[in-house]
């Protein structure tokens, strides 16, 4: 089969590789649509400790089952399916605490979607593989993993009807946060540098958009829009220490700062101790997903509760993978669909 194989930073080649062999509890899926994401950009630029090269890029996908292991009962050849990119072990310290997103055995992480076929490991088959209904396209279904992560963030934020929510970052994740926050009944303000992304945010229901290139003080601007208090919930969806700090400063007394975007390793932030202590501020890091969040995200997809098609900038064949990688490194577009 053809696959986009990562060898070292900024070196990915389209190669002919062996078809994956599946074990008794696994299934083999022919990839129909795969999506790019910010993690793919990071992997391309610097690799990942969980995936020693060479490895195949990509983890957001949907497709058709072409082969089923002997132990698999729930799924059959020919089914249209979508899978999340990991599954917890259910027996480690954190899983037993109910914090499956922090599972100590996440070697069960899945990569390899930028290829014609992908093997789904048994733990994911058991926990996070779903049959796609006829009413849902492969592209819509492929949003399962990022949407599950955003569902996690939304549930941790505990948004109430009428809350003012500020989202810093109008990329795919920020725009998914926008849509789910609106479903919760929030007034949503979203910030970004890109006019195009802010224009799309308006179409997706943002109550106010702010171009950070046009304001001198983003925190002051948010406070002016919230009667001087700040937002009930401030969400960071960029992955920058500087934006983390601004996000925390945008939350009102008694509010929450949800820090979603992963920052580069060995970075740190400063916190205004007066705001944090006397303002009884809650600062919450949010990472990854659990089978429960994946199931809820799948339900949202099946009920067409979010507009995900608008987040896909262009569609490309797998043969154009290096062109796609150039675009995501250059921060062009939002997400790209790869059609093997």
CATH code assigned at 132 = 3.90.180.10
Considering the domain architecture, whether residues 270 and 178 belong to the same structural domain is answered as: yes
Assess whether 158 and 229 both reside in one domain: yes
Could you give the residue ranges of the DSSP H alpha helices within 35-171? 38-46, 93-96, 122-127, 138-141, 144-157
Domain containing 19: what range? 2-143+308-339
What pLDDT shows up at residue 108?
60
Do 60 and 134 have their domain in common?
yes
Is residue 296, in this structure, part of any structural domain at all?
A: no
**Residue 192 and residue 72 share a domain:** no
Whose CA is closest to 247, among 284, 216, 213? 284
196-245: pLDDT as tens digits: 999 999 999 999 999 999 999 999 999 999 999 999 999 999 999 999 99
- Confidence (pLDDT) at 47: 87
Residue 139 lies in a domain: yes
Do 107 and 235 reside in the same domain of the chain?
no
Residue at 72 is within a domain: yes
| Last residue within a domain, chosen from 270, 285, 300 | 285
CATH of the domain at 226: 3.40.50.720
Domain presence at residue 298: no
Question: How many structural domains compose the chain?
Answer: 2
Same domain? 8 vs 138: yes
For position 51, what pLDDT does the model report?
84
SS3 string, 233-244, reads EEEECCCCHHHH
Q: Are residues 28 and 101 in the same domain?
A: yes
Residue at 293 is within a domain: no
Q: What percent of the chain is modeled with pLDDT above 70?
A: 99
Does residue 50 register a pLDDT over 90?
Answer: no
Model pTM score? 0.96
240 and 156 housed in the same domain: yes
Question: Could you write out the DSSP letters of every residue in 105-138?
Answer: TGGG-----SBSEEEEPHHHHHHSEEEPPTTS-H
Which of the pair, 149 or 265, is modelled with greater confidence?
149
Three-state SS string over 269-314 comes to CCCCHHHHHHCCCEEEECCCCCHHHHHHHHHHHHCCCCCCHHHEEE
Beta pairing class for 231-236 and 208-211: unpaired
Q: Is residue 134 domain-shared with residue 178, that is, in the same domain?
A: no
More confident site: 109 or 13: 13
Is residue 159, in this structure, part of any structural domain at all? yes
Residue found under tokens 């890109």: 194
My answer on whether 30 and 156 are in the same domain is no
pLDDT for the residue 1: 97
Question: Considering the domain boundaries, does residue 156 fall inside one?
Answer: yes
Q: Are residues 134 and 208 in the same domain?
A: no
Q: Would you say residue 295 lies in a domain?
A: no
Task: Specify whether 44 is located in the same domain as 72.
Answer: yes
């Amino acid at each position: 089969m053809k696959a986009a194989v990562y060898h070292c930073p900024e070196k990915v080649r389209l190669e002919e590789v062996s078809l994956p062999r599946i074990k008794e509890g696994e299934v083999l899926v022919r990839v129909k649509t795969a999506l790019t994401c910010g993690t793919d950009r990071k992997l391309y630029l610097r690799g990942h400790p969980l995936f020693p090269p060479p490895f195949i890029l990509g983890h957001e996908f949907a497709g058709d089952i072409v082969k089923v292991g002997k132990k698999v009962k729930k799924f059959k050849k020919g089914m249209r399916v979508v899978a999340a990119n990991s599954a917890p072990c259910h027996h480690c310290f954190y899983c037993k605490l109910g914090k499956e997103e922090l599972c100590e055995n996440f070697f069960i992480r899945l990569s390899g979607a930028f290829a014609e076929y992908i093997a789904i490991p048994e733990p994911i088959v058991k926990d996070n593989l779903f049959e796609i209904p006829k009413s849902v396209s492969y592209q819509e279904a492929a949003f399962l993993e990022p949407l599950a992560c955003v569902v996690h963030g939304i549930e941790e934020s505990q948004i109430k009807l009428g809350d003012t929510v500020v989202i810093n970052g109008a990329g795919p994740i920020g725009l998914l946060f926008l849509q789910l926050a609106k479903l919760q009944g929030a007034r949503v303000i979203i910030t970004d540098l890109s006019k195009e992304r802010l224009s799309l945010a308006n179409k997706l229901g943002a109550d106010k958009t702010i171009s950070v290139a046009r304001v001198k003080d983003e925190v002051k601007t948010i406070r002016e829009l919230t009667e001087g208090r700040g937002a009930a919930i401030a969400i960071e969806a960029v992955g920058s220490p500087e934006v983390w700090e601004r996000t925390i400063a945008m939350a009102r007394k008694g509010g929450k700062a949800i820090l979603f975007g992963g920052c580069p390793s060995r970075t740190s932030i400063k916190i205004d101790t007066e705001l944090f202590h006397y303002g009884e501020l809650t600062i919450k890091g949010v990472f990854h997903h659990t089978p429960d969040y994946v199931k809820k995200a799948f339900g949202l997809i099946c009920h067409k509760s979010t507009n995900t098609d608008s987040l896909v900038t262009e569609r490309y064949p797998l043969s154009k993978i290096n062109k796609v990688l150039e675009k995501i490194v250059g921060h062009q577009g939002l997400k790209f669909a790869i059609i093997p």
